[in-house]
Amino acid sequence: MQNDIKYVLVSEEKIDEINNRLGALISKDYQGKQLLVVGLLKGCVPFMSDLCKKITIPMEVEYMSVSSYHGNISSSGDVKIKKDLDISVKDRDILIVEDIVDTGQTLKTITELLKYRGARSVEVATLIDKPEGRVVDFKPKYVGTTIPKEFVVGYGLDYNELYRNLPYIGVLKEEIYNK
Ligand code: 5GP
């Protein structure tokens, strides 16, 4: 698996720093609010788990599953909800946790949907932002780190469902997806 990685972009140490920083910030910003953290499956899982352990205020957890990639390396822009929330979001302060923001279409769509359903506030925490990829106007409030327009895997991010278990974020060698 390691042989398929061209180079490491975000190391395990850097990921730890990000989780500590964002966890402290979110705990401060949501003090006294009824925080509902919504993870977007499957990519959010390692980030969601590590980030939530750094949030020191009461919070609830829910998951949604959405897709826009369909096993390719560029977003289709067609956002599908594969698993919806099990609870009402009315008057809730929602923090969506996502692995990566690229075109912005997934998060813009889900943010607007949850606001339409009556959430009091909807913000996004993403481990990685690729601002050069944006095709819609969308700015996540909490960003772990910004990277260039590269296709990355690891720490929840996959290529054809593989590499999610790498403990760091790395750039996949082109020969893997040009096979
Ligand atoms: P967006 O709607 O912002 O274009 O895409 C968000 C989704 O695209 C992410 O949840 C993720 O599944 C996928 N994605 C975007 N960039 C990458 C990348 O570099 N690597 C991987 N593995 N997935 C990506």
pLDDT in tens, 57-105: 999 999 999 987 545 556 666 788 999 999 999 999 999 999 999 999 9
Task: Decide if 166 contacts 5 (C-beta within 8 A).
Answer: yes
pLDDT of amino acid 3:
92
Task: Decide if 152 contacts 176 (C-beta within 8 A).
Answer: no
Q: What DSSP state is assigned to residue 118?
A: T
Task: Decide if 169 contacts 15 (C-beta within 8 A).
Answer: yes
- From the alpha carbon of 102, which atom of ligand 1 is closest? 3
Q: How many CB atoms lie within 10 A of CB 101?
A: 24
Q: Which amino acid is at 163?
A: Y
Closest by Cα among 51, 112, 43 to 82: 43
Structure tokens, 66: 């959405």
The model carries a pTM of 0.94
Question: What are the tens digits of pLDDT across the range 9-44?
Answer: 999 999 999 999 999 999 999 999 999 999 999 999
Nearest CA to ligand 1 atom 19: 151
Q: Does the structure show a pLDDT above 80 at 7?
A: yes
Provide the annotated active-site residues. 102
Residue ranges of alpha helices (H) inside the chain are 12-29, 45-52, 105-116, 174-177
The CA–CA distances, whole Å, from 48 to 7, 157, 176 equal: 24, 13, 28
- From the alpha carbon of 75, which atom of ligand 1 is closest? 4
Q: Ligand 1 pocket: which of 63, 68, 134 to mutate (most atoms <8 Å of CB)?
A: 68
- As a whole number of angstroms, the distance between CA 102 and CA 150 comes to 10
Nearest CA to ligand 1 atom 10: 100
pLDDT of amino acid 2:
87
Measured in Å, residue 64 CA sits from the centre of ligand 1 at: 15
pLDDT of amino acid 76:
60
Phi, psi of 59, rounded to the nearest 5 degrees: -155, 155
Q: Is the CB of 129 under 6 A from ligand 1?
A: no
- As a whole number of angstroms, the distance between CA 32 and CA 53 comes to 18
Question: What are the tens digits of pLDDT across the range 103-156?
Answer: 999 999 999 999 999 999 999 999 999 999 999 999 999 999 999 999 999 999
pLDDT of amino acid 178:
82
Measured in Å, residue 31 CA sits from the centre of ligand 1 at: 30
